[in-house]
Amino acid sequence: MRARMARSALVLGGTGLLVFGIAGCSQSAPDQNSSQANLKIVQQVQIDENGAEVKAAAGTTPADPTGDGKATCPPVSIAMAGALTGPDAALGINIKNGVQLAIDKHNAANPGCQVQLKPFDTEGDPQKATAIAPQIVDDQYTIGLVGPAFSGETKATGTVFDQAGLVAATASATNPTLSQNGWKTFFRGLANDGVQGPSVANYMKNTLKFKKVCVVDDSTDYGLGLATPIRQTLGPVADSSCNIQVKKGDKDFSAAVTQVKGAAPDAVFYSGYYSEAAPFVQQLRDGGVTATFLSADGTKDPEFVKQAGEASKGALLSCPCGPATGSFADEYTKKFNQDPGTYSTEGYDLGTIMLKGIDSGAITRPALLDYVKNYNGQGVARNYQWTPTGELTTNLIWMFKVQ
């Protein structure tokens, strides 16, 4: 994302219950329309870059952060950086909770190796992240970082972490150019938008058979980074009369709604975050636009459903994030009293990889960097192995639906 500024049975993914009385939402009282309370983001199908279904792998056992319980280590910490407050905080909190679960499980099983999580709230703002990055690298106990979460803040801070030799493994930043900066400490824990864009575009074009799509982006590093390959892959299906850019933070989308309505498309793809996607889809529906609404990982959060209400029903959401399954999902829900959300699995998996490194004796920044570079193992979300530029060696995308 998150981003940031980067799978066929029906199983619940990051789900959430719709609540009523959200400011700025025109919704019926619960007793008038109780069906809204049952809207959830439901996993549909895993797709490849051609938009074709790929059956999910079965029978794989993910890495366990508890290890053998015999680890010993000096005081060390793992940092997490991302939006923990602000309009997109849910995405950062999902990641932090995933890492926290991995660390708590590890520490409970390994009394001789207690690892601390140090979270840093960037609010998803590149300028705030730039001010926070020196605090992270100046802490001698911090030997690894899960983050930054969004693409813009990752772009702004990557050189700082690279110069410090600090592993910076993002669970959510998907802009394709991030791995092209020559950083030796950058690792992306999911597919980038150069994969997601063509995958979802081909899914719209080849599988759903849409003939006219309006593509709208929020002008951020994430939004534009995803919209560009979507537009390119859609080709003439991306209607030039409704190739629209809005701004992060916008709440009035009346001009865009008018433009979309005039084009009369089969579908509208919004490339941005849930905090804008929610009012946008509401205003589209209020304006009489019935086209299928699609978005991606920046929108795939229960907050989108909560804020958009009934207008979110039927929305299709793509995500390079892996669904939460098995004991991980149960443990997460019990610990945080909520279902795992978008990037919770990636946060857990990346935290687990670093903990396994620490348990192996990689207790310095150079040693942990070497460990991650050479890692190859199964997580909850996927198998993790990286190319020299920090991209995963295998990439697939999941489609979800609000229903």
Beta-bridged to residue 12, according to DSSP, are 42
User: Could you tell me if 115 and 141 are in contact, meaning their C-beta atoms sit under 8 angstroms apart?
Assistant: no
The C-alpha atoms of residue 42 and residue 351 are separated, in whole angstroms, by 26
Q: Where are the alpha helices (DSSP H) in 218-343?
A: 221-234, 254-263, 274-286, 302-308, 326-336
Give the pLDDT of residue 36: 54
Record the tokens describing residue 227, joined without a space: 């919209």
Q: Where are the alpha helices (DSSP H) in 110-243?
A: 126-137, 151-164, 193-202, 221-234
Give the pLDDT of residue 116: 98
Q: Where are the alpha helices (DSSP H) in 116-192?
A: 126-137, 151-164
Please choose, from the candidates 66, 72, 56, the residue with its C-alpha nearest in 3D space to the C-alpha of residue 7: 56
Three-state SS sequence of 324-355: CCHHHHHHHHHHHCCCCCCCHHHHHHHHHHHH
Please choose, from the candidates 277, 338, 345, 267, the residue with its C-alpha nearest in 3D space to the C-alpha of residue 311: 277
Give the pLDDT of residue 186: 98
Q: Which domains does the chain have, with CATH numbers?
A: 34-56+194-323 (3.40.50.2300), 76-192+325-401 (3.40.50.2300)
Please choose, from the candidates 34, 82, 94, the residue with its C-alpha nearest in 3D space to the C-alpha of residue 303: 94
Handedness of CA 111, 112, 118, 119 (dihedral sign): negative
Per-residue pLDDT of the chain (403 residues; tens, 9 = 90+): 443 333 333 333 333 333 323 233 333 333 334 445 689 999 999 999 999 999 877 667 999 999 999 999 999 999 999 999 999 899 999 999 999 999 999 999 999 999 999 999 999 999 999 999 999 999 999 999 999 999 999 999 999 999 999 999 999 999 999 999 999 999 999 999 999 999 999 999 999 999 999 999 999 999 999 999 999 999 999 999 999 999 999 999 999 999 999 999 999 999 999 999 999 999 999 999 999 999 999 999 999 999 999 999 999 999 999 888 889 999 999 999 999 999 999 999 999 999 999 999 999 999 999 999 999 999 999 999 999 999 999 888 999 999 9
Q: Phi/psi of residue 307, each to 5°?
A: -85, -30
The C-alpha atoms of residue 58 and residue 87 are separated, in whole angstroms, by 36
Q: What is the pTM of this model?
A: 0.83
